[in-house]
Amino acid sequence: MIKTAHLLTFLFFLNSFAYGQGTTQEKPDYHLGFRIAPRISTLGGGLEFAKGLTPSFGLRGGFNYFTYGYDATESDVEYNLDLELKSLGLFADWHPFKGSFRLSGGFLINGNGIEGKAKPTTANFEIGDGTYALNSASLEISYNTFAPYFGLGWDTTFGDEDNWGFCFDLGLVYSGSA
């Protein structure tokens, strides 16, 4: 009776093993899926799209946007400043070790800039020991529309099937001045 129980147990496990071998698909060693993720950076908040093409190469694109306005009156001068950060980017990522570390190159279509105006609330105003008459002063800073990018980063979602991950980039944008 015990020999029969051992034989049935052995046949059950053998059958389970054979069934599992026949129906289990081999898991690919790499996930080249499409990803969409929110992002926060010094260029503002945005959305990023990424696609792995090979185990060591992928493409990313996205946009960033942020605005901030400042209006105040100090020392009889009205200030109006407007900051606008807006950019579109396209990047190629090389993962030299087929892991999370990446080197990136690409470009931004750059719409970043700041505009401002200062207007005295009185006809004359004083700076230090001098008295001056000024209607207004204007400020405008803009950058080249095409801005090359180079950076390095870390992306735990690259090559992974998980729905959650972490990305970090440290890079340089040559934006020049328009």
Instruction: Write the CATH number for 145.
Output: 2.40.160.170
Task: For 80-107, write each residue's pLDDT tens digit.
Answer: 999 999 999 999 999 999 888 999 999 9
Q: Given pLDDT bands bounded at 50, 70 and 90, which one contains residue 155?
A: confident
How many angstroms separate the CA atoms of 40 and 64, rounded? 8
Residue 14 has pLDDT above 50, yes or no: no
Q: Which two tokens stand for residue 38?
A: 């929110």
Q: Which pTM does this prediction carry?
A: 0.71
Is 23 contained in some domain? no
Which domain does 47 fall in, by range?
31-173
Is 3 domain-assigned?
no
Q: Is residue 22 part of a domain?
A: no
- Within a domain: residue 12? no
Query: Is 2 part of any domain?
Result: no
pLDDT at 166: 79
Is residue 85 included in any domain, yes or no? Answer: yes
Single-letter residue type at 108: L
How many domains, in total, are found in the chain? Answer: 1
Whether 11 has a pLDDT exceeding 80, the answer reads: no
For residues 103-116, average pLDDT: 96
Residue 154 maps to a domain: yes
